[in-house]
Amino acid sequence: MTYNQLQSILPTDSEIHFKTDCSQFFLDNNLSISDYSKYKFILFEYTIDNWTDTINSLDSNNINYKIKTDDWNLDYILINY
Q: Residue 18 and residue 39: Cα distance in Å, rounded?
A: 9
pLDDT digits over 22-81, tens only? 999 999 999 999 999 999 999 999 999 999 999 999 999 999 999 999 999 999 999 987
* pLDDT given for residue 13 in this prediction: 82
In Å, what is the CA distance from 33 to each residue of 10, 55, 70? 24, 23, 14
Sign (positive/negative) of CA torsion 9, 40, 55, 25? negative
Question: Rounded to 10 degrees, what is the CA torsion of 23, 31, 28, 15?
Answer: 50
Domain spans of the chain, in order of start: 3-80
- Specify the pTM: 0.91
Q: Residue 25 and residue 58: Cα distance in Å, rounded?
A: 22
